[in-house]
Amino acid sequence: MGQYSQLAKDIVNNVGGKENISGLTHCITRLRFKLKDQGKAKDEVIKEMDGIVTLVKSGGQYQVVIGNHVPQVYAEVCKAADIQGGQESSGEKEKLPLGAKIIDLISGIFMPALAVLCACGMIKGLNALFEFANLYEEASGIYMLLNGIGDSIFYFFPVVLGYSSAVKLGLKPYLGMIIGASLVYPKLQGVDLNIFGLTINASYTSTALPAILIVAIAVPLQKFFNKVIPDVVKTFVTPMLVLLISVPLGFLVIGPVANSLSDGIGSGMQSIYNLSPILAGLVIGSLWQVLVIFGIHMAFVTVCMINIMTNGVDPVLGLMFGASFAQTAVVFAIWLKTKDKKLKAVALPAWISGIFGVTEPAIYGVTLPRIKYFVISCIGGALTGIFYGVVDLKMYSMAGLGVFGIPAFFEKGNMEDSTINCLIGVAIAMVFSFAATFVLYKDKDFKKKVFIENDKIVKKIVVKSPVEGKIMNLSEVPDAAFSNGAMGKGAAVIPTVGKVVSPVNGTISVLFPTLHAIGITSDEGAELFIHIGMNTVNLGGKYFTAKIAQGDRVSVGQEMITFDLEAIQKEGYLVETPIIISNTDNFFDIVESGKDTVKIGDKLITIVC
């Protein structure tokens, strides 16, 4: 059994089982599920599992953030679910809005190739560095070999995208590869092709869009021919006809249009950059980590890929390069200053991982719960983005993350200046972020994990008052189980009306037979406990009437219990009613309203998530 086998099985079980998975890919740190029904997934269980950083539901994807060992977990999840990663099932799929569909399509096509694309970019960058350092010459065999390795995926990128597009769109994968291979066939590059009186001269090596669009055309062709061709010959006749139609159509029409579109994208991005490099650096540098949180940064990465494939350079994506170093510097400062041993244990691996560009543990585990320091890291990213805009720093290849991303900025013939500018920007990001954090940081008790749902950060849960009356401090309740906080933080109310309503939307998890106490689990995962009076369990349910039952769904303001306030007091019982958050440790803080009196439905407690 592999190291991550049990984690993988637990993930599969809690996303609704393998029958609920319609597709699976992964990026540098995340498993990206396509689920048929996200409602079947157990969100709270997943985000609290050991080995999981957090959970993000964004762009139509169910993203489980693992960390830098995601490839191993991904392989085990594929085994546990008995699926081939990246493939879409033929079952019913969740309907997505247009924006989510676009993000999902981009991720599904480009994500599988990203790691190898970055690896080849690093090889190209390091090869240029070694040649610049006179370790060997450009004409040497080792330079030519390494350059060939680095250039390979860029030159033959249509083959790679032909495969991944076919997997994503439902074409036979090897058919997609042949479409890509046909586009880069050497004897067809840059020559006049006279077909039916139409002459076309094009080159499709190192392109992105043509292969994707031709595969998109091939998908309905495959479906059509599979329906009309007899089973006995369709195995080879269908792909033959698909290739005979889609590839010539691609060369003559789709390819030129796609290349023009690629040129337009590159020119458009360059125009925006030229309008104000400083403004572009400010916006991209400051917002990059926010895009990463929601997992939608791939849209920008894809544009960068297309620019590099088309023009050999990208002016935009490099503006974000300092953001991860800003994040790392913030966490390093917190690690140095905090006296919280648990926080130190989280921050140490987080900033080490951040050096290599994997910042999710730092974001979700350290800075996002302490939002002020996340903002500092965004400011640091903005400052370095502005600097990169001023010095006109550009990316010349895809490369790795963090320190491994530096080779992307090696400019042939200007290696020294481009490298120095890159490193100055990193220094700006780290020095500002470290200094600001070191000066401002103070220890506080916060939750370690953050949950992203529907492109929103869940920051707080408002608990409305379930009763009307006078608010008292929980520490003043004449029962040590409540006053010393052993059962959790919260507030207490001395009721003036004998009625209890639901303070949240959720489910009745506990209803005591004596009706004096109720447990509610809110939809956000907060576990509330309402105890009506002191020692009222001894009444055996006398004077209490239930309007709900255990297991019932309740909404805010829904009546749950009525009780005879005067009769209970005449029996000699105190009616102080604690409202407790019993899973207090799962949240950053429990904040009382600060009021003296409260009516039913007024804000009583704010749970900071």
Give the active site residues: 27, 531
Determine whether 609 is exposed, middle or buried from the number of CB atoms within 10 Å of its CB (0-12, 13-18, 19+): buried
Helix, strand, coil percentages (3-state) for the chain, rounded to 5, are 55, 15, 30
Residue 508, SS3 per DSSP? strand
What are the contacts of 142-151 at 24+ separation with CB within 8 A? 149/120, 149/123, 150/120, 150/121, 150/122, 150/123, 150/124, 150/125, 150/397, 151/120, 151/124
Q: What's phi and psi for 508, nearest 5 deg?
A: -75, 105
- Name, in order, each residue with C-beta under 8 angstroms of 517's C-beta and a sequence gap of 6 or more: 510, 529, 530, 531, 532, 537
Distance between CA atoms of residues 428 and 489, nearest Å? 42
Burial of 173 (0-12, 13-18, 19+ CB in 10 A): middle
Helix/strand/coil (H, E, C) string of 203-218?
CCCCCCHHHHHHHHHH
212, two tokens: 């994707």
CA–CA distance, 361 with 449 (Å, rounded to integer)? 9
Three-state SS at 491: strand
Which amino acid, residue 15? V
Neighbours of 51 (CB within 10 A): 16
**What residues contact residue 236 under an 8 Å CB cut-off, 6+ apart?**
none
**The residue to which tokens 């991860």 are assigned:** 324
d(CA 139, CA 126): 16
Q: How many CA atoms lie within 13 A of 288 on its CB side?
A: 32
Distance CA 219, CA 255 (A): 17
Query: According to DSSP H, which parts of 338-409 are helical?
Result: 341-355, 360-362, 371-391
Measured CA distances, 349 to 172, 353, 354, 477 (Å): 42, 6, 8, 42
Alpha-carbon distance of 160 to 58, in angstroms, equals 26
Burial of 430 (0-12, 13-18, 19+ CB in 10 A): buried
Q: By the 8 A CB rule, do 216 and 196 touch? A: no
